[in-house]
Amino acid sequence: MKQNQCNFTYYKLEYNHKVIIKKQERRTSMKKLDSTKLSKEQQEFFATHLAYLATVSKDGIPQVGPKQSMKVKDETHLEYLEKTQQHAFENIKNGSKVAVVVADKPSHTNVRIIGTPKVGEKDDNGWYPVVISIEEIDE
């Protein structure tokens, strides 16, 4: 998660025969990691930041919303409670994959996963646990 912390690059410009050093914001890019297992650091990051879940409808329309109950189940799974049972739940039942991101604004740090969700049995509150098998991690 270190590569996004140094956020500037420097380049030279010539203007009226003077060399000027200019600071330019660097594009902060994410890359797909080789591992599909969450590191201890990534697990901690998921535990301490609000997760946003994206799904896709049958018609190919994206949906996104915060999921306060999202937590790390183990190093290859996330889990959350489907309480509202609206668009995201409908999309998941129709076979949508999911993307989950946690972001830290001050440090420009993001961790994102892509995975396949599986809906469990309704609990006593009428909520459905959804377990997400992690298939890709980007950081």
Q: Which residues lie near its own copies (CB under 8 A)?
A: 24-25, 27-30, 50, 52-56, 60-66, 68, 83-86, 96-101, 103, 105, 110, 112, 114, 125-126
Cβ 87 to its own copies, closest distance in Å? 8
Which lies closer to its own copies via its Cβ, residue 51 or residue 72? 51
Which lies closer to its own copies via its Cβ, residue 28 or residue 41? 28
- The answer to whether 120 and 129 are in contact (CB under 8 A) is yes
Closest CA to 138 of 115, 107, 120, 113: 113
Which lies closer to its own copies via its Cβ, residue 25 or residue 40? 25
Strand partners, 66: 52
Cβ 46 to its own copies, closest distance in Å? 14
Cβ 16 to its own copies, closest distance in Å? 19
